Amino acid sequence: MFKDNKKPEDNNKFNKNKFKYMIYYAIAVILVVYLINDYIVNTGSKQIKYTNFINMVSQKQVKEVKFTKDKIIIYPNKDTEYGDKILYTGRLEEDKEVLDRLNKSNVAYDQVIPKQDGPIRSFIFNGLLPFLLLMMIGRFFFGRIDKKLGSGVMSFGKNTAKIYAENETGVTFKDVAGQEEAKESLVEIVDFLHNPQKYSQIGAKLPKGALLVGPPGTGKTLLAKAVAGEAKVPFFSLSGSSFVEMFVGMGAARVRDLFKQAQEKAPCIIFIDEIDAIGKSREGNISGNDEREQTLNQLLAEMDGFDSSKGVVILAATNRPEILDKALLRPGRFDRRVIVDRPDLKGREEILKVHSKGVKISDTVDLNSIAKSTPGAVGADLANIINEGALRAVKNNREEVIQEDLEEAVEIIIAGKEKKDRILSGKEKRAVAFHEVGHALVAALLTHTDPVHKITIVPRTMGALGYTMQLPTEEKYLTTKEEMFDQICVMLGGRAAEEVEFKSISTGASNDIEKATETARSMVTIYGMTDRFDMMGLESMSNRYLDGRRATNCSEQTVAEIDEETLKIIKAAHKKSIQVLEENKDLLTKIAVRLLEKETIMGEEFMSLVKGEENDSMESIEEFDTNK
Ligand code: ADP
Ligand code: ZN
């Protein structure tokens, strides 16, 4: 994104500046004249003590004296130590005999008649100059604050600094991969921007705005830019959170300004990122946020006010559509929703392809397998993986990126960088190895699980001391009850292996426990997989595109029952994984020993170890029973 700092009214601005500089220039000249004047008046004159003056008079060193309102100006004789200098001293009211003394020494004296300042002169010095000086000081200080805040305090509302504008985004739909549905719904908008008359002739009204909804990093900004790029129109963008930051009234002024600028440049795209920051529902909000509300109202007013036939289309992005104010979603505002969800396998492969275009990649690289190993990754992650891979290739002095670079990059994104300098004691290392093999073995021996791709006990910077990676053979959109239960068994398999081998347990399973509990809970509350609650919905996802926080929709008593039911599932899964590992204890030990030697075991090697000694007595997994 390149930032366009040029303001549209640049010509105007130049004139304004010129005027400003003229004023500054004038002030500078006046100041200099004033100072020089002062200098001339004061040079060559010197203050002396009153007693000195009396002495000089009595010693006949003084030629002439002039009285002013508060000073006595003394012209000494040429042969004194002061020479040509003019001296002065304060008028001492107590000394009533000054005149006698002067008379005695034959000194000429008189009173200076104060010069009456002409009206112009007095206006300049008493009125204009102080005023201009004050203004300059004010400017100076406010100018400072101005710069610090990055926006105009003085030029309130005219500020455009936070608006990003691009005349040509240069992004096209080709750059956005794996979002076919989203692109399809936006094609119409592109056509409209190309050719607004075509629509207005028939009388068709196009939506003023579309809301792009999806998790962070899925390419919402990119899509908005692509729409502008395809239609070859300017792109204005502003982040919702930047509206609501400083002073009350600022956000509204920004909105007004944004629309004004955009309408001048129509046809164009206005993109508002994180619109939930302003568009948060006003209901049930007791504390209230004046600033946000004002900004939202201004936005609504602007959206209603502008004439869409000119070709201004507003795109907004959010990952929390459920909290948006209903007013925003009314017809004539953001009445279209474009879902920009996490890409599926094919989408991920395409995104990888798009991003590997500018990178030298070996012909042997299989992007499909990288895509397979990154379920749940969004476009931003995938772009990052390609870049990490390229960095690793450079680090290893290679001219091309190879498969290994990308595989390592995937792990860096998932688990952090390898941390070879973290030294574990022998005992801890054994615990980690058994824990990880526990996960892997439960996964291999249960039926409804994904195959093991890799087991490693190389510590990673994001806190993992080791991990087991499972990869689905194909992209799945549905998960069965049996699969969910087996997943929980696999998650608990790590701790189970510690119990089976060491008869003691460690803190290493905290993350497993968290995930297992969450899965078990959603079986109870969201997916209706227990007999007790049948198909009753007990929780709903309130934050689907972010962390998936849940809201409970049931009585407190039921909440307690949910806990019981969740516990039942976890206990059953725990029991199952212990049973599986007890029955295959030799295999567990054998693979753990191999892992301690090699630190990393890949899926194929692992499976051949398992197959070599497969325990035929493994009966098929019976149902867990929640009705006991
Ligand atoms: P969002 O606005 O949804 O949070 P962005 O549009 O800012 O996400 O995406 C961040 C970066 O991730 C993009 O600049 C781009 O490099 C990459 N990216 C995300 N989604 C895609 C995609 N579908 N195709 C190609 N690149 C993508
Ligand atoms: Zn674990």
Question: CATH number for the domain including 255?
Answer: 3.40.50.300
122 inside domain = no
Shared-domain flag, residues 203 and 304: yes
Q: Cα(437)–Cα(455) distance, rounded to whole angstroms?
A: 7
Check: CB of residue 487 under 8 Å from CB of residue 449: yes
Give SS3 for 130.
Answer: helix
469 inside domain = yes
CB-based burial label for 425 (10 Å; 0-12, 13-18, 19+):
exposed
8 inside domain = no
Check: CB of residue 370 under 8 Å from CB of residue 406: yes
Amino acid in the structure at residue 601: I
The length of the chain is 628
Q: Can you tell me the mean pLDDT for 411-434? A: 81
Confidence category of residue 149, pLDDT binned at 50, 70, 90: very low
CATH number at residue 435: 1.20.58.760
Segment of 77-86, 103-112, 199-208, 532-541 carrying the highest mean pLDDT: 532-541
Q: In the chain, pLDDT over 70 holds for what percent of residues?
A: 84
Query: Could you give phi then psi for residue 289, rounded to 5 degrees?
Result: -140, 100
Respond yes or no on whether the N-terminal peptide bond of residue 267 is cis (omega within 30° of 0).
Answer: yes
Q: Cα(271)–Cα(369) distance, rounded to whole angstroms?
A: 35
92 inside domain = yes
Distance 340 CA to ligand 1 centre (A): 10
* pLDDT score for 84: 74
Q: Is the CB of 352 under 6 A from ligand 1?
A: no
Shared-domain flag, residues 284 and 187: yes
User: How many independent structural domains does the chain possess?
Assistant: 4
Shared-domain flag, residues 227 and 322: yes
Q: Cα(589)–Cα(11) distance, rounded to whole angstroms?
A: 79
Q: Among 504, 489, 453, which Cα is nearest to 577's?
A: 489
Name the helix (H) or strand (E) containing 53: helix 50-58
34 inside domain = no
Shared-domain flag, residues 324 and 352: no
Cα separations (Å) of 119 from 31, 37, 125, 385?
19, 18, 10, 78
Distance 489 CA to ligand 2 centre (A): 11
- Domain boundary among the residues 415, 447, 475 is at 415
Which residues line ion ligand 2, judged by CB < 5 Å? 494, 512
The phi-psi region of residue 232 (left if phi > 0; otherwise alpha if psi is between -120 and 50; otherwise beta) is left
Q: Can you tell me the mean pLDDT for 438-443? A: 95
Q: Is the CB of 177 under 6 A from ligand 1?
A: yes
Atom of ligand 1 nearest to the CA of 216: 4
* pLDDT score for 148: 43
Q: Cα(508)–Cα(464) distance, rounded to whole angstroms?
A: 9
Shared-domain flag, residues 53 and 182: no
Shared-domain flag, residues 243 and 276: yes
Shared-domain flag, residues 300 and 200: yes
Shared-domain flag, residues 430 and 511: yes
Q: Is the pLDDT of residue 248 over 80?
A: no
**In this structure, how many other beta carbons lie within 10 angstroms of the beta carbon of residue 165?**
22
Express the helix, strand and coil content of the chain in percent, nearest 5 each: 50, 15, 35
Distance 227 CA to ligand 1 centre (A): 14
Atom of ligand 1 nearest to the CA of 225: 6
Q: Cα(565)–Cα(577) distance, rounded to whole angstroms?
A: 19
Check: CB of residue 370 under 8 Å from CB of residue 410: yes
- E runs forming strands in 206-255: 209-213, 235-239
Contacts of 319 (CB under 8 A, 6+ apart): 213, 214, 215, 216, 276, 545, 546
- Take atom 6 of ligand 1 and give the residue whose Cα is closest: 219
Q: Can you tell me the mean pLDDT for 464-489? A: 88
27 inside domain = no
Q: Can you tell me the mean pLDDT for 419-433? A: 82
Check: CB of residue 90 under 8 Å from CB of residue 70: yes
Shared-domain flag, residues 371 and 254: no
Q: Among 412, 411, 480, 432, which Cα is nearest to 623's?
A: 480
Check: CB of residue 154 under 8 Å from CB of residue 20: no
The residue segments making up the domain with residue 62 are 44-111
Q: Is the pLDDT of residue 627 over 60?
A: no
Q: Among 393, 412, 395, 413, which Cα is nearest to 403's?
A: 393
CATH number at residue 410: 1.10.8.60
Instruction: Give the pLDDT confidence of 180-227 residue by residue, as tens digits.
Output: 989 998 998 888 888 878 887 888 777 788 999 999 999 999 999 999
Name the residues annotated as catalytic.
436
Confidence category of residue 83, pLDDT binned at 50, 70, 90: confident
The phi-psi region of residue 191 (left if phi > 0; otherwise alpha if psi is between -120 and 50; otherwise beta) is alpha
pTM of the model: 0.66
Q: What is the DSSP string of 537-587?
A: --EEES-TTTT--EEE-S-HHHHHHHHHHHHHHHHHHHHHHHHHHHHTHHH
Shared-domain flag, residues 444 and 563: yes
Atom of ligand 1 nearest to the CA of 176: 24
Distance 229 CA to ligand 1 centre (A): 15
137 inside domain = no
Which residues are 87's β-sheet partners?
Answer: 46, 74
**Mean pLDDT taken over the chain:** 81
Q: Cα(370)–Cα(471) distance, rounded to whole angstroms?
A: 11
